[in-house]
Amino acid sequence: MTYETIQLAIADGVATLTLNRPDKLNSFTVQMHADLADALKTIRRDETVRCLLLTGAGRGFCAGQDLSDRAVAPGDAVPDLGESLEARYNPLLRSLKALEMPVVCAVNGVAAGAGANIALACDIVLAARSASFIQAFCRIGLIPDSGGTWTLPRLIGPARASALMMLGDKVTAEQAEAWGMIWKCVDDEALAGEAQALAARLAAMPTRGLALIKRALAASSTNAFDAQLDLERDLQRLAGRTADYQEGVRAFMDKRQPVFQGR
Ligand code: LHQ
């Protein structure tokens, strides 16, 4: 499916979403937000989709907000950037987090500003060795958005997060892997293949169960241990009712490979 600013391809249980404004390093415009919202709606409604793979076209992953879309000329009214977050970025982040399937991000090049934090909000992040992550907001007087102030300290700890957010220094993919900011850094030419293979592997797994793992992990950031035990009980109850659980146990007992359906 082709949109003006993104591409959506659905095959073998995997939806691949490619940000597609390569000459502007896939930076976000109002149109791109609209295209992504529409594509995510299609993905949610398509019962064949069991994993989402997000990546970018060209040499960058995403340079955040398209600053030419937001340029302020002398005499212009003061822009309401909060409105931009409320209407576009926050719904996008909420929908990625709430998507009931694993979301893999293949960071093919620089991920800056909102682009970095959207990548880091995904469930499993792979990055090309030449890719980098930049909390670019402070360079232009803004604060990190797209969930970055929540996500980054949880991934790499407050000391590193605050320095990166206040200095806007570039983090290489290798450094990001070493710090636990991402799952894995891979050679540039291997990225697309590894990301597709990972997404295909996830799509063949018990994806209802994976969605429940995602819910448990999201809640663990704010829950006390006791509340998390209760949540695990409730989610395990749901997992135990899936056809995939039955199949998993049957296949184990029969000593054969399971065939999961995401139900
Ligand atoms: C761009 C951009 C870009 C437009 C590269 N916009 N054209 C939310 C709410 C509302 C408003 C504000 O923001 C937010 C959230 C945010 O995301 S704020 C942060 C916005 N992003 C940035 O500040 C990053 C700006 N970009 C850069 O610092 C560099 O481009 C990086 C470090 C990402 C890459 O550097 P290079 O590899 O040297 O590439 P380049 O700078 O030469 O960029 C290539 C082209 O892409 C160039 O266009 P041109 O026509 O000259 O070839 C850039 O102007 C364009 N581009 N980022 N955000």
Q: What is the fold, at CATH topology level, of the domain defined by 207-254?
A: Lyase 2-enoyl-coa Hydratase; Chain  A, domain 2 (1.10.12)
| Cβ atoms < 10 Å from Cβ of 194 | 16
What residues are in contact with ligand 1 under a 6 Å CB criterion? 24-25, 27, 63-68, 70, 81, 84-85, 89, 110, 112-114, 134, 136-137, 140, 142, 145
> From the CA of 153, how far away is ligand 1's center (Å)?
24
What is the per-residue pLDDT across 214-261, written as a single tens digit (0 to 9) for each?
Answer: 999 999 989 999 999 999 999 999 999 999 999 999 999 999 999 999
> From the CA of 124, how far away is ligand 1's center (Å)?
25
Residue 71 has pLDDT above 80, yes or no: no
Residue 68 has pLDDT above 80, yes or no: yes
Best of 20, 25, 69, 133 for a ligand 1 pocket test (most atoms within 8 Å of beta carbon): 25
Of the candidate ranges 31-45, 61-75, 92-106, the one whose mean pLDDT is the lowest: 61-75
Residue 235 parent element (H or E) = helix 225-240
Sequence ranges of the domains in the chain: 6-203, 207-254
Beta strands 184-186 and 124-128 are parallel
Q: What is the fold, at CATH topology level, of the domain defined by 6-203?
A: 2-enoyl-CoA Hydratase; Chain A, domain 1 (3.90.226)
Query: Which pTM does this prediction carry?
Result: 0.97
Confidence label for 79 from pLDDT (cuts 50, 70 and 90): confident
> From the CA of 213, how far away is ligand 1's center (Å)?
35
What is the per-residue pLDDT across 118-158, written as a single tens digit (0 to 9) for each?
Answer: 999 999 999 999 999 999 999 999 999 999 999 999 999 99
- Cα 131–Cα 134–Cα 140 angle in degrees, nearest 5: 145
Residues 6+ apart with CB under 8 A from 60: 22, 25, 26, 108, 109, 110, 111, 115
> From the CA of 27, how far away is ligand 1's center (Å)?
7
What is the per-residue pLDDT across 15-26, written as a single tens digit (0 to 9) for each?
Answer: 999 999 999 999
Q: Which of 82, 1, 85 is CA-nearest to residue 38?
A: 1
Distance CA 241, CA 200 (A): 24
* Of 180 and 75, the one with more pLDDT: 180
Phi first, then psi: give them for residue 103, nearest 5 degrees: -115, 115
Best of 5, 61, 67 for a ligand 1 pocket test (most atoms within 8 Å of beta carbon): 67
SS3 81: helix
> From the CA of 24, how far away is ligand 1's center (Å)?
7
**Percent of the chain's residues with pLDDT above 70:** 98
